[in-house]
Amino acid sequence: MDKSEHFPGFDKLGRGAGNVLTGWLEIPLAVRRRYVSRDPVTTCVTGTAVGLAKGVTRTLVGAYEVVTFWLPYPEDFGPILPPLEYFSQTSPGQR
């Protein structure tokens, strides 16, 4: 392998590690998404439940990607989940 070539498995490894470390951020993100259209009690209950399910999923997918980073699955080392958009959201005061 030439030094200029890039092994895409390392992207998969980094993506997986990021998902393992940040999967829990799905919980506050789900609560925030639901806050706009529901009352506070419903928001906390449903947002936490949905966020917990998504967070566990993201963490498990991340663990899978870390363990299998050297395998070209899914096709061509592609992502299984879309990237977590927690840090790209604007805060309510910045709109």
CB 29 within 8 A of CB 86: yes
Beta-strand runs (E) in the chain = none
pLDDT for residue 25: 94
Report pLDDT for 73: 87
Q: Using CB atoms within 10 A of its CB, is residue 19 exposed (0-12), middle (13-18) or buried (19+)?
A: buried
Give residue 75's pLDDT: 85
pLDDT (0 to 100) of residue 88? 64
From first to last of its 95 residues, what are the pLDDT tens digits of the chain? Answer: 555 578 999 999 999 999 999 999 999 999 988 887 678 888 899 999 999 999 999 999 999 999 999 998 888 889 999 988 766 655 544 44
